A = this chain, B = another copy of it.
Amino acid sequence: VPTLEEIAKLAGVSRSTVSRVVNDNPRGKDYTRARVLDVIQKANFQPSTAARRLGGGRSGIIGLVIPVGVPKLFSDPCFPVLLQSVSSACNKQSMTVMLWLAEPDYEQRIINQIINTDILDGVIVSSMSVTEPIVEALSKSNLPFVLIGRHPTNNNINFVDSDNQNGAYNIVCHLIKSGKKKIGTITGTSNMIASQDRLEGYKQALIEHDLEIIPDLILDGDFSEEGGIECTKDLILKDVDAIFAASDFMALGALKALKEAGKQVPQEIALVGIDDAPLASTTDPPLTTVKQATDLLGSKAVELLSELINNKSTSPKQIIIPLELQMRKSG
């Protein structure tokens, strides 16, 4: 592997000049530049990222941290979309993504490594629960980072998030407008902010339409299909006429339970979800839901992080992406 110094010798210029060429620094005669580029190509020179970072430059690598175990990573349908969009967006800017796998037990060590590795230009953290140690650590460091999912308390943090509350609000309003009066909800994992926001939207819709909020109709489904099934069994007993599941995955479970109980959807009990996961269009009946633009979440996060890295942005930026109603047959 040739070094920059060797390239300099081969091209008959100084290291500084080679460095400038490599980094597209505008200073430099075109003639010299062309010659150096030629040598670089012939020698198949690749600058050492480690040395580059130590010297004060960019690595072109950003870290993606999804503080969630492997099983969950693979079972949640959002992550593939997110990974793909982050990855594509990075590639367009000639940046590379590294995904950090974190087992809960070792989290602190991994956090230290992410921050101190000194190799990352920036970090994107996804899948926030309310208290996420890595966020605190990142805040104290001076590594640029953006969150996917808003932070509940710290307003100085850059993030992109879906407008979960408004999405939930809109779809519950839709249920109310179609004549439903006793609407239950199956909530997501309770320590996740998205869950809390979606529940908030549900409550807001009820309140604005003078419907009572009945705690017994608010059940925790933990974002799992099984949770959807169990909560729905319970809600059927409580005689609801509609169910808002805080994810399509839970709605899928709900649908199974409704079918097993012989309930007509949406006539007897309407069912709506949130996310617009691929499965939503293939259920029977197809699921009315609210579309979350997960791909936008990823690409916006990269865009924002890139601005931070290049110092284009100073004051914290917070990007909220609206959700869109997807009318189908289930509610």
Contacts and interface: CB of A to CB of B under 8 A. Distances in A.
A59 interface: yes
Contacts of A1: 116, 141
Contacts of A91: 103, 105-106
Interface stretch (A7-15, A92-100, A228-236, A284-292): A92-100
A144 to B, nearest CB: 15
Most B CB within 10 A of own CB, among A60, A84, A141: A84
Interface size class of A (residues with CB under 8 A): 35 or more
Contact of A49 (B70, B99, B118): B118
A95 B31 CA distance: 46
A103 B92 CA distance: 11
* Chain copies in the assembled complex: 2
A51 to B, nearest CB: 6
A60 B113 contact: yes
B116 A48 contact: yes
A110 B100 CA distance: 17
A87 B99 CA distance: 12
A115 B46 CA distance: 9
Nearest to A64: B101
Contacts of A47: 116
A284 B100 CA distance: 38
A61 to B, nearest CB: 7
In the A-B complex, the 8 residue pairs with the smallest Cβ-Cβ separation, listed nearest first, are A50-B118, A46-B116, A99-B99, A49-B117, A74-B80, A70-B84, A48-B118, A50-B50
Given A73-B80, A96-B100, 20 more contacts: A48-B116, A49-B50, A49-B116, A49-B119, A60-B113, A70-B80, A71-B80, A71-B84, A74-B74, A74-B80, A83-B101, A87-B103, A91-B105, A91-B106, A96-B109, A96-B113, A97-B101, A98-B99, A98-B100, A117-B119
Interface of A: 1, 46-51, 53-54, 59-61, 70-71, 73-74, 79-80, 83-84, 87-88, 91, 94, 96-101, 103, 105-106, 109-110, 112-113, 115-119, 141
